[in-house]
Amino acid sequence: MKIFRNIFLIASGLLVFAGCEDYLTKDPIGLLTPEQVDMDPTKTTVEYSVSSSYQLLSSTLNIIGEWEWDKGTVTRNDFILQDIASDDMQKKWNPDGDQAWMDEFNNFSFVASNQGFNGQWTYDYEGISRTNTAIDYLTNQSMMETLGFDADLQDRLLGEAYFLRAFYYFDLVTNFGDVPLVLNPLTSFEEAYEVAVRTKNQQVWDQIRSDLAKAKELLPQSKYSSEEEPWRVSLGAVIALQAKVELFNENWNEVIELVNELESYGFYDLNENYFDSFDVEKEFQEDEVIFCYDHEPLQTPDNGNGLCALLGWGFVAPETNFLEEFEDNDPRLLYTVDVESQNVNKILGSLDGSYKGDDDSPSNKIFIRWADVILWKAEALLNNGDTEDAIALINVIRQRARNSVTAEGTYPPDGTLPDRDVNETDVAVIKDWLIHERRVELGIESHRFRDLKRWGIAEEVLGDRGFTSKNYLYPIPQDEVDKSGGTIIQNDGY
C-alpha cells in the first residue's frame, strides 16, 4: 500500500499512473512523510493530515519541487490564471523574456502544455489528496476511539477537511469544467485508472455542495473555529463559499438566503479603513476577512508569502486600463498599487515597500472577504429585479471607500465616490455600476477573470487581446491527457 500512497502524496498532479517509475524515487512534500501516513497513525498524524491540506492554498515558494518553473509549481498560480489573464494585471513592470509562459495568459496564446495549467492542477489535486486522507482518518470511528480523539475536535477537523476539498474542486471546475472526481485515498493502480476520467461538471458542483453541507454541520457557531488558530476554516467561510457556489450557478434566491444567514451571525462587517484587510499589523484583528491563508515567517517548513519575493524581481504590475478604472481621488487605488514605487501594496501588506523581495513575508492571501460577499448579494438582488436594494449595497461599498483615511493620511475631498442614484431602474446601467465596483474594490485579488467569464462578457472585454469562446474553459494540462492514455479528453479547441 505504501507505494501507491506515496505516488499520490507527491505533488505531480492527480494522474501519475502511466510512466510512474520516475515518481517512485521522489521525496514526499508537506508535513507528512509516507511512513507517517502508512503506519498506524497517531493523534498528531491525524491533526497534521488536516493542517497539511491547507498548504496548497499558500503562496509559499517551492511547496512542490525546487524552482521547477518548467512545471509551473514554484508558487500557486492564481495570480497568473486569474489576474494576468484578466485586464487587471500584466506579468512585469518592465516586459522581458523572463518566464515567457506567463505572458501567454496576457494574450491568450497559450497551448495545453503551458506549465501554468500543470501547476494549478497539481496544487489542487495535491490538496484534494491530502483532504481525502484526512477525511478517511476522521470518518474511521474505530480509529478515533482507539486514539482517544475528542469528539468536538474530530468534528471541527472533519468540517475543515470537507471545506478544503470543496474549495479545491471549486477552483478546478471553474477553471477546467469537467474534471476527475476523486473522493478517497488511492491505494492501487487499478483505482487510479478508474478515476482517470472526467466527471461532468454538474456532478462536481453537487459534490462541492455536499461537502459544504457536511462542513456546515460540523463546525462550531463562532467567528473562529479555533481561537488559538484563527486562520482555520470557520462556519462563516463555509456559508460564504456556499453562497459563491450558488452565485456561479446563478441561483439568485439561494445567494440572498445564504448571505442573509451569514449576516445574521454578526461575525463580519466592513472595516472602517479599506486597507485594514491587507495590513500585516491587523491580521485577525479586523472585521472583514472571512477566509485567508495565514502566511507566517520563520517557520519550518517555510510558510511565508513567496509572492512578495517575485514582486522584488519586478513581477505583478497593473494594466493601464485597470488604473484608469478608478474614479478621481478613490483611496483604493494607492492602497492597491503604488505606481511610482512599483509596489503592489495589497500583496505586500504594507504601504512603504516592506517585504518586497522577501520570500518569507507575513502577508496573508485573502480568498473571501465581506466586501466581496456584499457585492454577491447586490448582484443577486439585481438579477431578481430588486434594483433599489442592489444599488444601496453598491453604495455601502462606495461609502466605506470614500470614508477611508487615504494612504497619505488624509481624507478624500468632498464629492469623492458619490452614491449611485437609487432611483435608477435601467438594469444595464446598474450592472455596469456593479462591474465597475467589483473591479476597483477587489482588484488584484484573483476575481476579475472569473467574473468576466461568468457574466459572459469576456469576449467583449478581452477579445482584442486574443480571448475567444474556447477560453471560457482552460485546457486540461496536456501531460495529464497524455498520461491517461486517452481516458481524459481535452477541452474543445485545444
Say if residue 13's pLDDT is above 60. no
Shared domain check, 199 and 123:
yes
Confidence of residue 210 (pLDDT cuts 50, 70, 90): very high
Asked if omega into 95 is within 30° of 0 (cis), the reply is no
Of 200, 219, 238, the residue that ends a domain is: 219
DSSP 8-state assignment for residue 270: -
Shared domain check, 392 and 276:
yes
Among 4-18, 59-73, 129-143, 198-212, the least confident range: 4-18
Say if residue 29's pLDDT is above 60. no
Shared domain check, 86 and 24:
yes
Shared domain check, 195 and 251:
no
Quote the CA–CA distance of 262 and 236 in Å, as a whole number: 6
pLDDT score, position 27: 34
Say if residue 1's pLDDT is above 80. no
* Residue 460 resides in a domain: no
Confidence of residue 186 (pLDDT cuts 50, 70, 90): confident
Shared domain check, 283 and 249:
yes
Shared domain check, 266 and 203:
no
Say if residue 37's pLDDT is above 60. no
Residues contacting 132, CB < 8 A, separation 6+: 165, 182, 183, 184, 185
Query: pLDDT tens for residues 218-236?
Result: 999 999 999 999 999 999 9
Judge whether 448 and 456 are in contact, CB under 8 Å: no
* Residue 203 resides in a domain: yes
Say if residue 480's pLDDT is above 90. yes
Shared domain check, 213 and 94:
yes
Query: pLDDT tens for residues 104-142?
Result: 999 999 999 999 999 999 999 999 999 999 999 999 999
Of 163, 194, 219, the residue that ends a domain is: 219
Domain extent at residue 333: 226-442
Among 3-7, 41-45, 285-289, 428-432, the least confident range: 3-7
* Residue 491 resides in a domain: no
Shared domain check, 356 and 312:
yes
Shared domain check, 236 and 215:
no
Shared domain check, 148 and 62:
yes
pLDDT above 90 coverage of the chain, percent:
88
**Cell 505572458 belongs to residue:** 103
What is the residue-averaged pLDDT of the chain?
92
* Residue 56 resides in a domain: yes
* Residue 448 resides in a domain: no
Domain count, the chain: 2
Shared domain check, 141 and 191:
yes
Of 442, 458, 485, the residue that ends a domain is: 442
pLDDT score, position 39: 56
Helices and strands per DSSP (H, E), number in the chain = 22, 4
What does the block give as the cell for 121? Answer: 492542477
The helix (run of H) or strand (run of E) holding residue 293 is strand 289-293
Query: pLDDT tens for residues 324-349?
Result: 999 999 999 999 999 999 999 999 99
Range 29-36 average pLDDT: 40
Q: Which residues pair with 366 in a beta bridge?
A: 292
Shared domain check, 177 and 320:
no
How far CA 128 is from CA of 167, 292, 327, in Å, comes to 9, 18, 41
The CATH number of the domain holding residue 311 is 1.25.40.390
Say if residue 169's pLDDT is above 60. yes
Quote the CA–CA distance of 292 and 289 in Å, as a whole number: 7
